[in-house]
Amino acid sequence: MATQASAYISEQNPFPQPLTALQLIDRSRQGLMGTEAGHIARLLGVTDKEMARLLNQSVATFHRQAKVGRLDASTSEKLLLLGRLAGYGATVFQDQGKFNRWLCRPLRLLGDRSPLDLLDSPTGVQLIEDILGRIDYGVFS
């Protein structure tokens, strides 16, 4: 989970690619294509408004960046982390739709917040990955 990660979506390859942590860093420094934000939003089943919030951007900035060639390293890293999470969640739930529904469901473990509410920070992404790991290994949460 921490060393291998499903990391990004592209038009050439619509399914997450496993990347090591160092590969994820290198890929984020290269910058993702602007269109990959939309691919990850569709994969997670979120609207442009929700995706902009996850990236800590306005909707206008999100749309503008979707049209540019390469995204900056910070935005690329956030997208890679979200792509990794989407791939891991689909594996744990064995269905992308089930995972996406789970993302929107408030959990007592999270103070009655949904996992999606926490994905706007790297700490939140890590927390949700940890919960998915516990689900994957059958640990009661």
Q: Which pLDDT band, with edges at 50, 70 and 90, does 19 fall under? A: confident
Q: Kindly report the average pLDDT of the chain as a whole number.
A: 86
SS3 content of the chain, % helix, strand, coil (to 5): 60, 5, 30
Please state, for a pLDDT cut of 90, what percent of the chain lies above it: 68
Per-residue pLDDT at 63:
85
Consecutive H or E run containing 46: none
Per-residue pLDDT at 140:
67
Residue 61's contacts (CB-CB under 8 Å, 6 or more residues apart) are: 52
User: Is the pLDDT at 16 greater than 80, yes or no?
Assistant: no
pLDDT digits (tens, 9 = 90+) for 76-91: 999 999 999 999 999 9
